[in-house]
């Protein structure tokens, strides 16, 4: 079935409410630049947040060490981070669209939106293996896969998963917690021809469309 999404700016409060209702993880991203509502005939059917993780320049530099994202002049970064890439922090759709191809169609609309409304060359995201996610929606949307890496988080009261940085600042005195381990799966989408050339020729990582499966969790 064909879904026609219309992407609009929305307020943080509306995005947060939608995420808490439909997403498996209610925690919102660390740094968010855009809260985007994805509408079908004026009904809010999806949410995407675009922003960055805790060390966005170092994250990108690890993938593309010769891009110059860490270079400075007069103690100021030369490159504007928003002109380089955005990370998809949250992406979720309403439950009535589960088990359809709406997610991949939403991503296709998002790519067009980023191309038309920003100067970014890449969309970056991680699939959360600790929650049994290995990136099916990104695979269906022709993102490039850049491998997996092991990470950890804290599980409080057996149901609330907390990022290590948040745990240390807010929950360090909590006694009922345990450390859990899992993989994160790295995906990248080049927005334009320039970005594709950079991905093919300048990355320190191997990018392909040979995708992980459930057995790789």
Residue ranges and CATH numbers for the domains of the chain are 6-148+184-216 (3.40.630.30)
Q: Mark residue 156 as left, alpha or beta (left: phi above 0; alpha: psi -120 to 50; beta: remaining).
A: beta
Where the chain has pLDDT below 70, the residues are 152, 154-175
Q: Identify the pLDDT of residue 162.
A: 62
Q: Identify the pLDDT of residue 65.
A: 97
Residues 112-142 have pLDDT tens digits of: 999 999 999 999 999 988 888 899 999 999 9
Q: Identify the pLDDT of residue 34.
A: 97
Q: What is the pTM assigned to this prediction?
A: 0.89
């Amino acid at each position: 079935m064909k879904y026609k999404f219309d992407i609009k700016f929305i307020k943080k409060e509306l995005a947060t409410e939608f995420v808490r209702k439909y997403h498996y993880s209610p925690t919102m991203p660390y740094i968010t630049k855009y809260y985007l509502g994805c509408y079908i005939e004026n009904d809010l059917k999806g949410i995407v947040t675009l922003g960055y993780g805790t060390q966005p320049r170092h994250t990108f530099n690890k993938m593309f060490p010769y891009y110059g994202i860490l270079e400075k002049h007069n103690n100021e970064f030369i490159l504007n981070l928003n002109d380089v890439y955005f990370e998809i922090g949250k992406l979720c759709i309403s439950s009535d669209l589960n088990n359809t191809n709406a997610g991949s169609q939403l991503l296709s609309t998002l790519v067009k939106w980023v191309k038309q409304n920003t100067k970014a060359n890449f969309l970056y995201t991680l699939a959360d293996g600790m929650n049994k996610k290995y990136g099916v929606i990104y695979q269906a949307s022709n993102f490039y896969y850049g491998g997996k890496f092991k990470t950890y988080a804290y599980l409080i009261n057996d149901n609330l998963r907390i990022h290590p940085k948040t745990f240390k600042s807010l929950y360090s005195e909590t006694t009922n917690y345990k450390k859990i381990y899992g993989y994160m799966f790295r995906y990248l989408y080049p927005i334009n021809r320039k970005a594709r050339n950079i991905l093919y020729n300048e990355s320190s990582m191997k990018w392909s469309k040979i995708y992980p499966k459930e057995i790789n969790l």
